[in-house]
Every structure is written in structure tokens, then in C-alpha cells.
């Protein structure tokens, strides 16, 4: 069966520090991968998605970046965090069919102080 893991689960970082959140999927090949952010009490904002290794689509211009160095690995990064980067970050995957659902990871809570 397929599983998705992301880490760390919780992170407290000072403003201006770097960020790296990692997500891996097991049990499937060539998934579409996604990073969402959920601000407190708000909906989901799509940040990046990827349909293959090295292919990244950015939805929102910001100081975050994403990379997909391997088929089932998706990394969210920042060189310098802002206060507004605080939130709940969710990694997700799906297959490329129209009817497939998104499968979400457990989430990573980032607090920037």
C-alpha cells in the first residue's frame, strides 16, 4: 500500500533562518506531488506541484522554493524565513488520472519567531 511521510512534524525557527521540509512517498511510482500551506483557521493554499523529477510548478510567488531530486521525494525550502511563513504545511500526492484523489501527509507545523 502507498504511504506518505513528511518531517519534521513541528519546527520553530527564527526569522531569517533557512527551512527544509521533506516529504517522501512509498508504494507508488511517478506520483504527482504537492505542497500546500494552511494558515491558522484558513483554507489550503497551493504552493508548488510536480509531475516528475526536476519539474516544479509554482503557484504563488514568495520566498519559498521546492525541489524534486528523486521520483518520490519532494522538498520545500527557504533561504530566509519570514514571520508570514508560519503555518501548517501539507505534502500530498496523487496519480495523474482525473478521478484520483489527493493523499495527504501528516503535516508540518512551522512557527517563525
Partner 1 sequence: GNSVTQMEGPVTLSEEAFLTINCTYTATGYPSLFWYVQYPGEGLQLLLKATKADDKGSNKGFEATYRKETTSFHLEKGSVQVSDSAVYFCARRPTGNQFYFGTGTSLTVIP
Residue of the chain from 80, 84, 100, 111 that contacts partner 1 (CB under 8 A): 100
DSSP state of 94: E
Nearer to partner 1, 73 or 109 (CB): 109
Say how many residues touch partner 1, by CB under 8 A. Answer: 23
Which helix H or strand E contains 82, and what residues bound it?
A: none
Q: Is 76 in the site for partner 1 (CB under 8 A)?
A: no
Under 8 Å between Cβ of 82 and 63: yes
Which three three-digit cell numbers place residue 12? 520553530
Nearer to partner 1, 42 or 80 (CB): 42
Q: Is 80 in the site for partner 1 (CB under 8 A)?
A: no
Q: Is 107 in the site for partner 1 (CB under 8 A)?
A: yes
Which helix H or strand E contains 79, and what residues bound it?
A: none
Cβ-based burial of 21 (10 A; exposed 0-12, middle 13-18, buried ≥19): buried
Residue of the chain from 49, 74, 78, 86 that contacts partner 1 (CB under 8 A): 49
DSSP state of 96: S
Which three three-digit cell numbers place residue 101? 484523489
Which residues contact partner 1 by CB under 8 A? Answer: 32, 34, 42-44, 46, 49, 51, 90, 92, 94, 96, 98-107, 109
Amino acid at each position: 500500500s502507498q504511504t506518505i511521510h513528511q518531517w519534521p512534524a513541528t519546527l520553530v525557527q527564527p526569522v531569517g533562518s533557512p527551512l527544509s521540509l521533506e516529504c517522501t512517498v512509498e508504494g507508488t511510482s511517478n506520483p504527482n506531488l504537492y505542497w500546500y500551506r494552511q494558515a491558522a483557521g484558513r483554507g489550503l493554499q497551493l504552493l508548488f506541484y510536480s509531475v516528475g523529477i526536476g519539474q516544479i510548478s509554482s503557484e504563488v510567488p514568495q520566498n519559498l522554493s521546492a525541489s524534486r531530486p528523486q521520483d518520490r521525494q519532494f522538498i520545500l525550502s527557504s533561504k530566509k524565513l519570514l514571520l508570514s511563513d508560519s503555518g501548517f504545511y501539507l505534502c500530498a500526492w496523487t496519480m495523474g488520472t482525473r478521478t484520483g484523489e489527493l493523499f495527504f501527509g501528516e503535516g508540518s507545523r512551522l512557527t517563525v519567531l
